[in-house]
Amino acid sequence: MLIKKPVGITSYGAYLPSLAIRAETIARSQGRADESVYQNLAVAQKTVPDFDEDSTTLATAAAYQALSRLRGKANIGALFIGSESHPYAVKPTGTMVKTALGLPDQMSLVDMQFACKAGTQAVQTGIAHVLSDLAPEALAIGTDTAQSRPGDVLEFTASAGAAAFVLGRQKILARLLATRSLASDTPDFWRRPRENYPQHAGRFSGEPAYFQHVLANARAIMEECQLDVNDFKYVIFHTPNAKFPQLVAQKLGFSPEQLAPGLIVKQIGNTYAAAVPLALAAVLDVAQTGDKILTVSYGSGSGSDAFVWEATAGLVSARKKFKNLISEQISKLKVINYEDYRSRTRQH
């Protein structure tokens, strides 16, 4: 759907845990040091949440940065948090985040879950609330502390992080030009009640799941907007690893240069519901006035949200005062060993 009214991102924030583990360290623990499985994923390391970090604390930290950059929170009338690792099965994450941030009680608030696209679903729902005048501004957050069974291939990528976006119609940093979604019953990844770790359908999660949804949604939104690959400065696809988005970019005709700024999965792993939001934040950290950004998420089960954004002069001006950009957070990551990693992931 083309968005004709001015609306978009008015502030954003991101948070990464300070710890990371190298892929080769995990490979040695799994007895795969001589195999190519982890090299094929093209993920060098992933973030690790500390003992006192969960999806709630990550969301709060990312949102705090977004609100600090905005320098005001009185107009926020909606909060949507997408995650597949909400700390409680029955108790909202949002109420805790709202209270920690000092947001008003009078607001719409929903915890969302749609695998790795829950964060972009939160953004889309926040935009809808603003456009329908249900809220002057909305806060949308993607946050996760992803779990993986020891020895599983997911252990190389499942990581942690959060990104938050304030959405509104005034002082827009990145204007939304269009958005659309699609969904199908394609069960490539799941976790039943009382199971500690998710299960996945291996290679089935590629062609009929990720690739089918991301390619179809990307092509559809570009056709609707009458834009082609050359109209975009940057492109972001969901990053279960670094290989899948690179293949999608090649199939659609995007260059490595268009994909590279958002391909932070190589340094932080797959942050699930925060993956595309964090990649978008990384691109906003470098985008210039007029740059168009194609963003396409994917969530197992399955579905995809697509967005076309355009950076404004306001972004370039506001960013001069921004501190602790994603690149800075990545540069400060402290690498830990496998024993330290396992002691922390048992808590999540």
Catalytically active residues are 84, 116, 238
271 closest CA partner among 239, 308, 303, 237? 239
- Report residue 151: phi and psi, to 5°: 95, -15
DSSP letters for 173-200: SEEEEEEEEEE----SEE--TT-SS-EE
Between CA 114 and CA 208 the distance in angstroms is 18
Kindly state the helix (H) or strand (E) to which residue 60 belongs, with its residue range.
Answer: helix 55-70
157 closest CA partner among 147, 166, 167, 169? 147
Beta bridge partners of 20: 47, 335
Between CA 298 and CA 126 the distance in angstroms is 18
Between CA 7 and CA 196 the distance in angstroms is 40
Question: Taking a C-beta distance cutoff of 8 angstroms, is the pair 40, 205 a contact?
Answer: no
Kindly state the helix (H) or strand (E) to which residue 13 belongs, with its residue range.
Answer: strand 8-15
Question: Taking a C-beta distance cutoff of 8 angstroms, is the pair 273, 239 a contact?
Answer: no
215 closest CA partner among 296, 277, 280, 292? 296
Between CA 271 and CA 120 the distance in angstroms is 13
- Give ∠ CA 275-256-46 in degrees, rounded to 5: 35
Give 181's contacts (C-beta < 8 A, 6+ positions apart).
121, 124, 217, 303, 304, 305, 306
Q: Which amino acid is at 30?
A: Q
Between CA 285 and CA 327 the distance in angstroms is 9
Q: Which amino acid is at 90?
A: V
